[in-house]
Structure 1
């Protein structure tokens, strides 16, 4: 191939859209590393591909399992936050109205500092709480979330209110219909108290947002929550809601969950409908819950999962009994423990050290731990980021001429990198992704591993206003794979900040990641239970 000049491609591709970025802006994008993914992709693309290597988009990324075996044993009966509150509601010890009023009071008292909420729907929430109480009084029980306050990331549509996606461009866009996930939460009786903040168009691993400000970490307010489900994590971490919906395109549920000492569950691609959710990258986006406990994540996912005629990406895969999985005491499976993904160090030393007791507890529960090098992860990371950029360019390209000057500086710099690709890049990226997927799966299968354990992030939470592209290096491969992944607190690093362990299984095996995460959770000091 000829020499590769990403800035020339940026100029060429944007010129075709009628956009002329400033020269100093282009040089800043180069200097700050926003063209790094395109450069790394170009190196991969210069390798050999066989003619028969099909693009990933023509294959079944997440084949449905023949059956899912049950996990042995039943652990403690302590009730996590959601089930404990559900039990109190049904015993008449509290009401939905009281719980929602408490949530709104906490938002009023704490959100001026944290900046978690984009929009609070107080009147709607109180009216819904009255309905929930009346239904329970009549014997209508919609499940564990009935009457409990929850929140949504502000790229999820709620009929009659705006969906900003963290931008000012969409600030006046009023949703005409609830997203499917909102319909399902309402059907489960959950009370939506508001919509949470995010970086502009969800394209950052931090809470950076020039329009609405950053979101402070409730565990350490001088530090960032991470992104892009920033406000969702802060709202849960501060006790404003029992659960918040986040989206995850490269780690945006798992990163803030880790930084805030919470549980973040990214399900299998196709498990949860994305209808009515403003996209970042169509083939990589996932929706899932951020909660305080693993069992809370399990019951929340059960409420929102399932096929949807509005979203052809969804699949009719049976959902395992996740609450039973959360009570599993034994885990008789082989667990690959990631030693290296090739290239740079896996994680900061304090992160690696903090994970050791969590790995030990998996072994004590019957897991066989197998240290493993997985160099395919580095390739999957580059390809996941490249495919995201190609899809972001496809989404924003037709809008760029009208919106360019209204984008924030940070998003605009990142967007420049999305236009640094030649016209053949999309299909080549998909072909490379298929090959990397096969090699990664074959490596795990060769060693008989059903689970993978690794740090969620290479580092603990950065200080407010700081951002590192490394934050998603260990999470983004699993968006491309579409496999389920959970982050659960694994301890506190020497710097006093939370560390999360990420547990990954094959398609549709959310039960395995939930079981393993619950075993880790039980060993943590101050574990939340009733």
Structure 2
């Protein structure tokens, strides 16, 4: 991580170019940049926070108009940990309304542009976080991830993104969407930058009922070569040719690092069926998590209100079917991990779409599996020769395997650079 002396003027220019923040107040930005911080693992690093993550005294709107003046009374759990590690924190990174979207085109706070491919989507729902890192004005940023909302924008913006094991990073002080699927995790310019971030964030959160104490030995990095599966289900997804080529390049690079890559079948995983089922579950849980906002009036856009109303009124049989689909895929991945240490897929089936285009239906086909199974997954950027729009591949590993997974991602990233 290299951002050392970013100024308010530089942040203002990035905001004007890419709309990385939901709101931009020069006085507040100066206060955040100059706030005293202790010495720690992240001393001097500038780290952004998605608009649904609380920083005491700052607005925490979660992309919603009705929360546009709501000031956080205290820090989120992750915010406190980053402060203790010495980071300088910038809140309010733009996001999709209520985190229910995949392009960060917010009807209340504007559309975030992609610094790696201007005129194209930054992805979502954590698009402001990915764009801030891609623009080089922040060392890292925290996003939230329900079906891929860290990894999808990381893919589109050409940065690294990690969705951690369920329960590893506490969610206290974060506006929820779907508690059974939600995670919070970091994005950074490279995979090597992810470890100090996740190591600073891991640990029990008393305000998150799903938080789990970090297991003994969690930080140990196994040096043995990984055995990595290539799921046959990837063949059934409509993948852009450049992304398919990036996957093949990544497989060759993985083998060059000493990893073994073998074909596998993940029983019970139909990528499109899982994505649809997990989204139904998200709508249902979102209607409960945001019930007060939903009942308050007309603050939501018509589209988001429609999604939440659908989830609120969902028949029990449809909910049961969706939960069953999610559980089947999760069990299938656990069975697969008896044969391999991780699986490799594209992160997204496509590269960044044009800014005016709707999110592709299959955008989360590969990312939703890690949320369903509660396991870690890393988006690793892959440069496409002759094109500014990057591709991305995803490594998904066993629960609590962040150390080994990040180490493999770092080796993969280095091997990919060496192959250019």
What's 2:225 paired with?
332
Instruction: From 26, 32, 53, give the equivalent of 1:125.
Output: 32
Instruction: From 360, 366, 369, give the equivalent of 1:477.
Output: 369
- Relative to structure 1, the CA distance from residue 382 to residue 375 in structure 2 (aligned partners, 3 Å threshold; closer, same or farther) is farther
Deviation at 1:493, TM superposition (A): 6.1
> TM-score if structure 2 supplies the norm length?
0.91
Q: Cα deviation per residue 1:34-65 (whole Å; 9 max; x = unaligned)?
A: xxxxxxxxxxxxxxxxxxxxxxxxxxxxxxxx
Using CA pairs below 8 Å that are at least 6 residues apart, which structure has the higher relative contact order? 1
What residue ranges of structure 1 are gaps of 5+ in the alignment?
A: 1-80, 86-98, 136-140
Corresponding residue SS for 1:492: coil
Asked if 1 retains the 8 angstrom alpha-carbon contact of 2:218 and 2:401, the reply is: no
Distance in 2 (alpha carbons) for counterparts of 1:340 and 1:506: 19
Q: What are the equivalent positions in structure 2 for 1:55-66 lying under 5 Å apart? A: none
- Relative to structure 1, the CA distance from residue 419 to residue 494 in structure 2 (aligned partners, 3 Å threshold; closer, same or farther) is farther
What's 2:301 paired with?
408
What's 2:278 paired with?
384
Q: What are the equivalent positions in structure 2 for 1:205-284 lying under 5 Å apart? A: 205-284=102-181
Deviation at 1:285, TM superposition (A): 0.7
1:347 aligns with 2:251: no
Instruction: From 234, 250, 261, give the equivalent of 1:369.
Output: 261
Q: What are the equivalent positions in structure 2 for 1:76-475 lying under 5 Å apart? A: 81=1, 99-100=4-5, 102-120=6-24, 121-128=28-35, 131-132=36-37, 141-143=39-41, 145-318=42-215, 325=221, 332-340=225-233, 344-374=236-266, 376-378=268-270, 379-403=273-297, 405-419=298-312, 421-427=314-320, 429-445=322-338, 448-466=339-357, 467-475=359-367
Asked if 2 retains the 8 angstrom alpha-carbon contact of 1:319 and 1:508, the reply is: no
Please say which of residues 368-377 and 507-516 is displaced more in the overlay: 368-377
Deviation at 1:171, TM superposition (A): 0.9
Distance in 2 (alpha carbons) for counterparts of 1:239 and 1:164: 24
Number of equivalenced pairs: 413
Q: Cα deviation per residue 1:285-330 (whole Å; 9 max; x = unaligned)?
A: 10000100112111111111111111121111237676x85xx8x6
Deviation at 1:269, TM superposition (A): 0.5
Please say which of residues 384-393 and 152-161 is displaced more in the overlay: 384-393
Asked if 2 retains the 8 angstrom alpha-carbon contact of 1:104 and 1:240, the reply is: no
> TM-score if structure 1 supplies the norm length?
0.73
Asked if 2 retains the 8 angstrom alpha-carbon contact of 1:155 and 1:277, the reply is: yes
Which structure has the greater CA radius of gyration? 1
Corresponding residue SS for 2:231: strand
Distance in 1 (alpha carbons) for counterparts of 2:17 and 2:378: 28
What residue ranges of structure 2 are gaps of 5+ in the alignment?
A: none
**Superposition RMSD on alpha carbons, in Å?**
2.3
